[in-house]
Structures are given as C-alpha cells and as structure tokens.
Amino acid sequence: MVKRDNAVDLVGLLSVEGQDLAASWVGEVTGSLGGRVGAAELNRELRELYEALVEALRKGATDVHSEHMSEVRAHLTELSRNRARQGFSPSETAVSVFALKRVLEPVLEKGTADEIRAYLRLARILDSLGLFTIETYTQTRDELITAQAEQLLELSTPVVRLWDGVIAVPLVGTLDSARTQVVMEKLLQALVDTGSEQAIIDITGVPAVDTQVAQHLLKTIVAARLMGAECTVSGISPQIAQTIVALGIEFDGIVTKASLADALKLALRRSGVDLVAHTGAQR
C-alpha cells in the first residue's frame, strides 16, 4: 500500500499544473540548447517523454530499469541518439532530463512535507534517467565511431585496373596490421577477379615507413607471388628511401620504383606490351 501512495504522490507532483509543467520544461530545455533543435521537434519529444513518465509513475515505477519504464526508456534512447548524431555534448543531452527538476523546484519552497518528500524521490528517479541518457549517448557515439572506422577502411583501399592484366593499389594514410590485412585480401581477390599478373602497390600517400610497415608490404608481395603475380612497389619519396636505408630494411627480390609511371612502364614491359610514340605526333 505504501508504494501505491508514493506513486500517487509522484503523479500528483507532476500533474498539479498539468500541461503547464510540460510547457515550462520545454521552455527550460530550449534555453539550454540555444535553439539548435527545432522548437516543434523539441516540444514533441519532451511532451511524449513527459506523458510516458507520468504513465510509468502511475503504474508504480520507481527505477529506470523497471518494467513500467520501458516506454520512457524508448523515448530517452531516441532522444539521446538524436542528440549524439546532431553533435551535442553529453551534458547538453542530460540537461534535458535534469531541467524537469528545476521546473519542479518551487515545490521545495511552497510545498508540504509530503510534497517535498515526493520531490526528493522524483529527483532520484530523474537522476537515474539522466544517467541513462548519458549511457545511451556514449553507446551511440561508440557505434558511430566503429561504423566510421569501417567505412574509412573500405574507402581508403581501392584497387584500380590500369591496363589489361595490370592492377594498382594506391595506399593513402598510415598502414597498420588491420589495414594491411584488408589491402592484402582486396589485392589478392582483385588478382583472381581480373586475372592480372602484374600488381603495383603505390605508397605515395603513406607518410612514414617503419620496419613494421615494410614487414606488412613484404607479406602482401609474397602472397601475391604465391598466386602467380608480380608486385612492384612505387611512390617511394626521397625521405622514405633514406628512412628505409637508415633502418636497414631489406626489400630483397622486390622491384621498387620512384613513381607510379615507372612502375606501370615496367609492368607493361613484363606483360609484353610495347608503348610506341607516333612519329610526327604533336602535343
């Protein structure tokens, strides 16, 4: 029975001024977000949340993880996901929930002892709801980061066909084991798909080469050779050439060229294609 009374108190606290309370909540939050969310959208979000919260309290929910709170959690999840995607900070997201406490503060001055107790209980629930938004927020951010990292991995390793039987992988950015693995798989699959016997790995866009990167490159080249293709490494800048020598990295049995053009010329010669300049051609 006691629990039932609590619920009535809490609902009473939120329903005293009815719609006005929700409106002033929206007002508070609008101020804190600085107009970066549309007024209509914010109004809809918070009113839905408000109604769900009143409903949950009426059913006797006392904790954010309880069964009756499922609708509240759904609304909160949607709210924090939207905020995370729109680029708000975690505190700006949580403040949407905490603002409701500020709206209810007048109760502390004018309310009866029962009302104040009810306020404190509600404050505790709101705290846990606020923490819930932050958790969801970080979770969404993590998902976003993972998705972006995957996209980046896909984007950054295109395999292009330069000629019949000649493919190239222009590498841009730092090479680590995860990326090398993707590059290796893509390159080898492209060899099979296009039936190419010549592959060029262009490292113009790789800022630095250390022993590990060299090791990764060597593995890729050996794997390509096992499949019956010849690999050329191109795009070695003067600085990288100096680093390679200084580190004592041995590119045994691997042909290296300074530019992609040189590597292409070599690959064409190896596959038996002759390039002939037209006599009298004017450019």
Distance CA 87, CA 197 (A): 47
**How far apart are CB 232 and other proteins at their closest, in Å?**
16
> Per CB under 8 A, does 270 bind other proteins?
no
Helix (H) or strand (E) holding 171: strand 166-172
Using CB under 8 A as the binding rule, the residues of this chain from 221 to 240 that contact other proteins are 222-229
> Per CB under 8 A, does 168 bind other proteins?
no
User: Which ranges in the chain belong to alpha helices (H)?
Assistant: 2-15, 19-33, 39-58, 70-86, 90-104, 106-110, 113-155, 177-194, 211-226, 238-247, 260-270
Secondary structure class of 176 (helix, strand, coil): coil
Nearest to 181 by CA among 147, 157, 199: 157
> Per CB under 8 A, does 35 bind other proteins?
no
C-alpha triplet 58, 62, 67: angle, nearest 5°: 80
Distance CA 76, CA 94 (A): 10
Distance CA 91, CA 36 (A): 15
Nearer to other proteins, 157 or 196 (CB): 196
* Amino acid identity for residue 74 in this structure: A
> Per CB under 8 A, does 273 bind other proteins?
no
Using CB under 8 A as the binding rule, the residues of this chain from 181 to 220 that contact other proteins are 184-185, 188-189, 191-192, 195-197, 219
**How far apart are CB 195 and other proteins at their closest, in Å?**
6
Nearer to other proteins, 12 or 195 (CB): 195
Q: How many residues bind other proteins (CB under 8 A)?
A: 18
Tell me, residue by residue from 113 to 152, as one string, x for binding to other proteins by CB under 8 A and - for no binding: ----------------------------------------
> Per CB under 8 A, does 51 bind other proteins?
no
Residue ranges binding other proteins (CB under 8 A): 184-185, 188-189, 191-192, 195-197, 219, 222-229
